[in-house]
Structure 1
Amino acid sequence: MEKKSLILGCSAALGSEALYGLSYIFTKTATNDATPLALLGWRFLVAFLVMSALILTKVIHVNFSGKKLMPVLLISLFDPVLYFIGETFGISHTSASESGVFLACIPVAALIASTVMLHKRPSRQQVIGILITLIGVLITVLASNATTSLSIIGYLFLLLAVCSYALYTVFVEKAVDFTGIEATYMMLIAGALVFVTLALTEAKLNHSLTSLITLPMTDTAFLTAVLYQAIGSSVLALFLSNYAIAKVGVNRAASFIGISTVVSIIAGVLFLGEHFGGYQIIGAVIIITGVYLANMIIKI
């Protein structure tokens, strides 16, 4: 693997996780007055419209002609559709610490999926780095909130999220005929179709359809969150994630996932005034150490 590809891929993975980490503060403020499904529906609708506009104005290009769509359809099924269903309902049925612990296992699940399905054995250094990152995330999460819900359905949804994300990383690496932009656009189409439908169904059942439709125009915090998550966390972060996996593979890209935890903690302290204790500092240092160990073979 060329040094340039490694540097670009790792930079993309780092940027993607930083964008995901920052989305925490927007989600926190937006869901005070709106349901998670409302946020997801608007997020993917706006992301789809923004990327469609970029394609129509020829700022970016996609070309699906002559290509078998099954690989990108599988990518879109696992992420965003199944992943966000699992994450959203899993978090709603469990405590913050439990959901954090489950989602922290994503790098390990991705490593296992890559080994089994792609026959790419990770190096000993990558395994050690990812496990150290996992330990750091667990310390950080459990230090902030160690309550338990004992919700079996919540655990099953979180397990769905973990497995879906791991399979997404595998199929991104398999989809060699598609660019990162093409994969991202298909993911946004799937996300818009599924989550707009779910948000409308929820609003209809709760007799709040008008409220859902006018929400971005009546709630500035919700509009800000939608714009950031649509453009930052969906269009840009998804593209960077797809690009990173294509450039450096699942195992190396997965080692960066813990960075989003560090960024979300720092963002919470700086923008929401949240407490940042000693255990969180230790956890953050361990996460960064794990990421470094998993990638330190790069010689710049």
Structure 2
Amino acid sequence: MKNKKILIGVLCAAIAEIFYGFSYLFTKNITNSVSPLTLLSWRFIIAFIILNICVLLHIIKVNFKNKSIISLISVAIFQPVLYIIGETFGIKLTSASESGTILACIPIVTLLFSALLLKEPPTKLQVIGVGITAIGIITIVVVKGIEATFNPIGYTMLMLAVVSYSLYSVFAQKAEEFTSAEKTYAMMAFGTVVFTIIGLTENVISGTLKDFIFLPFTNGEFLIAALFLGIGGSVITFFLCNIAIASIGTNRAASFVGISTIVSVIAGVIILNEEFSIVQICGTALVIGGVYLANIMIESKKEEIENYQEKKVENG
């Protein structure tokens, strides 16, 4: 039973990062012609509509009665609200090498917050694995060319993204009374409210409110991007992330972050005909090796005793 739960968590974490990788590609393509805030608004509007359809059709169940909503608010504020704001503006204000390098610190910072707030210090293998993964991500990103913008606001926004993602992981694990579906629902609701208000404000100021409202119906490329990001990059991805954190814990789930970088690079090679050098192949190998090391199960003495006692009870 325990092994099945771990397998589910690992698969969910890996698949979620694959969706994240493709999300970067869709975002990169469409924001060349459309405001990032407009895209975010429609992304979460679509996500929230789809999620409510799933609830109405009883595909998923949510029940917030007699539960402490405060812990759920903490999850939703850090992800998607603060994380996406930090990531979007951080990437826009800095170079690809800078943003990629700073965001590569997410697993490391997550381990730190997990130890401080959850009192779950990482194992030596998790530390080594996450470190190797970070080196792999930086290798893949930096090989495209090192550029320095020296933009303090951009760096601050990227650090906001790093800290927000890490705290989301911690608070998602702490919110044990909520199911993964309930956490995802709250995240989509907060994202919809915040980014729709921001998107509407931006378009009212620029005098493009009518264009904003009808954009999905007049721009096929935008509609495809918004649908993928809303359904795949938001509903499915966040749902899988919440399952992964609940199943394998914050530390191990964070180690999969580098997979999204690999996917985005490979997608760029296949779809955009970008180069894939030997150095990037080595970086990819480091990421995969780091994820593997961080997820090797070595039972502690306490776990061995608990498992022995469980087996003893089962055998009478």
Q: TM-score, normalised by structure 2?
A: 0.92
Q: Secondary structure at the match of 2:143?
A: helix
String of CA shifts for 1:143-198, please: whole Å, max 9, x gaps. Answer: 11311110001111111111011000000000000000000000000000000111
Q: How much does 1:298 deviate?
A: 7.7
Q: How much does 1:278 deviate?
A: 1.8
Q: Which residue of 2 aligns with 1:143?
A: 143
Q: Which amino acid aligns with 2:222?
A: F
String of CA shifts for 1:102-160, please: whole Å, max 9, x gaps. Answer: 11110001110000000001110011000000000001111113111100011111111
Q: Secondary structure at the match of 1:41?
A: helix
Q: Which residue of 1 aligns with 2:313?
A: none
Matched residues in 1 for 2:298 and 2:125: separation? 12
Q: Which amino acid aligns with 1:211?
A: D
Q: How much does 1:222 deviate?
A: 1.1
Q: Which residue of 1 aligns with 2:273?
A: 273
Q: How much does 1:24 deviate?
A: 2.0
Task: Pick closer, same or farther for the CA change 1:234–1:168 going to 2, 3 Å.
Answer: same
Identity of aligned residues (%): 48
> Do the aligned partners of 1:12 and 1:243 also contact (CA within 8 Å) in 2?
yes
**How do residues 248-259 of structure 1 correspond to structure 2 at under 5 angstroms?**
248-259=248-259
Q: Which residue of 1 aligns with 2:81?
A: 81
Matched residues in 2 for 1:212 and 1:279: separation? 42
Q: Figure out how many residues of one structure are paired with residues of the other and give that number.
A: 299
The answer to whether 1:8 aligns with 2:8 is yes
Q: Which amino acid aligns with 1:281?
A: I
Q: Secondary structure at the match of 1:121?
A: coil
Matched residues in 2 for 1:170 and 1:35: separation? 31
String of CA shifts for 1:58-105, please: whole Å, max 9, x gaps. Answer: 221100011110111000000011111111111111111111111111
- RMSD of the alignment, in Å? 1.3
Which is higher, the Rg of structure 1 or of structure 2? 2
Q: Which runs of 5+ in 1 are unaligned?
A: none
Q: Which residue of 2 aligns with 1:245?
A: 245
Q: How much does 1:5 deviate?
A: 1.2
**How do residues 1-300 of structure 1 correspond to structure 2 at under 5 angstroms?**
2-297=2-297
Matched residues in 2 for 1:191 and 1:179: separation? 18
Q: How much does 1:27 deviate?
A: 1.1
Q: Which runs of 5+ in 2 are unaligned?
A: 300-316
Matched residues in 2 for 1:200 and 1:278: separation? 45
Q: Which amino acid aligns with 1:45?
A: I
Structure 1 runs of 4+ aligned residues shifted over 3 Å read: none
> Do the aligned partners of 1:184 and 1:238 also contact (CA within 8 Å) in 2?
yes
String of CA shifts for 1:30-82, please: whole Å, max 9, x gaps. Answer: 11210111111100010001001111122211000111101110000000111
Q: Which amino acid aligns with 2:128?
A: I
Matched residues in 2 for 1:296 and 1:218: separation? 50
Matched residues in 2 for 1:29 and 1:223: separation? 13
Q: Which amino acid aligns with 1:73?
A: I
Q: Which amino acid aligns with 1:146?
A: I
Q: Secondary structure at the match of 1:144?
A: coil
> Do the aligned partners of 1:6 and 1:298 also contact (CA within 8 Å) in 2?
no
- After superposing the two structures, state which structure 1 stretch, 208-217 or 262-271, moved more: 208-217
Q: TM-score, normalised by structure 1?
A: 0.97
String of CA shifts for 1:233-254, please: whole Å, max 9, x gaps. Answer: 1100100000100111010001
Matched residues in 2 for 1:296 and 1:122: separation? 12
Q: Secondary structure at the match of 1:276?
A: coil
Q: Which amino acid aligns with 1:258?
A: G
> Do the aligned partners of 1:29 and 1:221 also contact (CA within 8 Å) in 2?
no
Q: Which amino acid aligns with 1:244?
A: A
